[in-house]
Amino acid sequence: MTALAAVVLCAGKGTRMKSEKAKVLHPILGRPICAYPLKRALELGATSVVPVVGHQAAEVEKSIRAHFPEAPLRFALQKEQRGTADAVKAAEDALKGHDGRVLILYGDVPLLRKETLQALLAAHDAAGGALALVSTTLEDPTGYGRVIREAGKVARIVEHKDCTPEQRAVKECNAGIYSVDAAFLWKALAEIKPVNAQGEYYLTDLVEMAAKHGPVGAVDADATETAGVNDKVELAARARVLQQRINEAHMRAGVSILDPATAYIEEGITIGTDTEIGPSVTLAAGTVVGKNVIIGQGSVLTASHVADGTHIKPYSVLEEARVGDRCIIGPFSRLRPGTDLAEDVHLGNFVETKKARIGKGSKANHLTYLGDANIGAGCNIGAGTITCNYDGVNKHLTELGDGVFIGSDSQLVAPVKVGDGGYVGAGTTVTKNVPPGSLAVSRAPQVVKEGWVAGKKARQAKVKAGG
Ligand code: UD1
Ligand code: MG
């Protein structure tokens, strides 16, 4: 197999986005537009991937590095936008020594599928020439470079502005995506001159140069795949297509999605069979969901793991949380980073957890904050329980053994421990460790004054009468 490198053009400004942010950084389903072509290049096994940056180069580089911390990226800078050939030329130094093929992709074309790129490489192999390209047939080809064929073979690309009236009638368009032999590429780029209607260095000139030496391969791709993003209407339209593609793949694999139009599932999320995703659910950042899970309406899961048979009720928010088998969470639960639940845990409405390990079968069903806590199995945490984990300077740990009962409206002032089977009476402020099997109560003894209300009324009446 020939070694593969990739150049992804990310230098453009994207004036029509009407934004302070570089075009390629605008997000589609949680990732910048350019992350998609970069990911495809990596999936194809490209050993070097060169994003060519220009406009807001530092921000674009930073964002790309954050999304691909371990990828073999080498950034190249195109200082001035002098055309697509000039942009690719900027990558030459970064690819010194690479003698295989170079895949050229646009950073603003997010929907191109891996299969289409594989077909492009296969077409390059089959034709046996120096270059292969992706074409797309458009009813309205205005603005695109036209694929000009002679005796059925690709002869050259002519840009819209340089076309004769006959050439303008051609509907086969150049998508701008190529596979090129490295040796030919760098040699040919050096010969390209900006002699055309736009005075730019046209990458498309490569096609005619390659066609003179051998056959140019071509694959026809659907226009939805090759479409770029130029403004925010197109951004939303591309996001819609991606969303549909992802959701359909999950449904075909046995996931039920109640309203595919409002389920936002990022690329690369794993979901088990017979899991049901409710309306307006978001699954982001590598979340993994098991089998037979129900995720209720409006829930947002980010970088979280949910095991089999769990029910996440509506409007719950999970971030870097791990949830075991058969748990019941929500409605309106908030599981923050470091939450780690064993099996059969129940967390109900308005329960917030952070760095909380909770053992098998424990329950906190209402209005509770559990932060920096190690909680054993079979505990019952009453409504309104709060771990006071922060003293204004440091965070402290609350530790509950197995089978602990915490009465409603209690505060656990950390660091503090309640031993196995310990019992905390409702309304207690726990400031000292509670040994196993012991009761802690800190509330004031109740006082009952019989007849007090009638007496109070009589006193008030007297005051009113000026007595
Ligand atoms: C290009 C092709 C055209 C094709 C069309 C498909 C050329 C000469 N023409 O035209 O045949 O039909 O794409 O969309 O290649 N870029 C840079 N630096 C530059 C210029 C461009 O990074 O100096 C980037 C842009 O940000 C964009 C991509 O390259 O991502 C394409 O550039 P654009 O100016 O849109 O090319 P088109 O005129 O559309
Ligand atoms: Mg364009």
- The CA distance from 171 to 104, in Å, is 22
Candidates 226, 5, 248, 23; CA nearest to 110 is 226
At a CB cut-off of 8 Å and minimum separation 6, what does 191 contact?
Answer: 209
Which ligand sits nearest to residue 23's alpha carbon?
1
Atom number of ligand 1 nearest to Cα 85: 15
Atom number of ligand 1 nearest to Cα 173: 12
- The CA distance from 383 to 403, in Å, is 17
Pocket probe for ligand 1: among 84, 226, 235, the residue whose CB has the most ligand atoms within 8 Å is: 84
Average pLDDT, rounded, for the chain: 97
Atom number of ligand 1 nearest to Cα 108: 30
| pLDDT confidence band for 323 (50 / 70 / 90) | very high
Torsion angle in degrees (nearest 10) through CA of 19, 23, 112, 27? -60
DSSP string over 253-319: TT-EES-TTT-EE-TT-EE-TT-EE-TT-EEETT-EE-SS-EE-TT-EEES-EE-TT-EE-SS-EEE
Position 50 scores a pLDDT of 98
- The CA distance from 38 to 46, in Å, is 10
How many secondary structure helices (H) and strands (E) does the chain include?
10, 37
In this predicted model, what pLDDT tens digit does every residue of 167-177 receive, in sequence order? 999 999 999 99
Average pLDDT, stretch 291-319?
98
11 CB under 6 A from ligand 1? yes
Average pLDDT, stretch 65-89?
97
In this predicted model, what pLDDT tens digit does every residue of 109-120 receive, in sequence order? 999 999 999 999
pTM score of the predicted model: 0.94
* Catalytic residue, candidates 67, 311, 366, 396: 366
The domains found in the chain, sorted by start residue, are: 4-220 (3.90.550.10), 232-440 (2.160.10.10)
In this predicted model, what pLDDT tens digit does every residue of 221-246 receive, in sequence order? 999 999 999 999 999 999 999 999 99
Are 51 and 108 in contact, with CB atoms under 8 Å apart?
no
Name the binding residues.
23, 78, 83-84, 106-108, 145, 159, 174, 230, 336, 354, 369, 380, 383, 389-390, 408, 426, 443
User: Ligand 1 centre and the CA of 165: distance in Å?
Assistant: 22
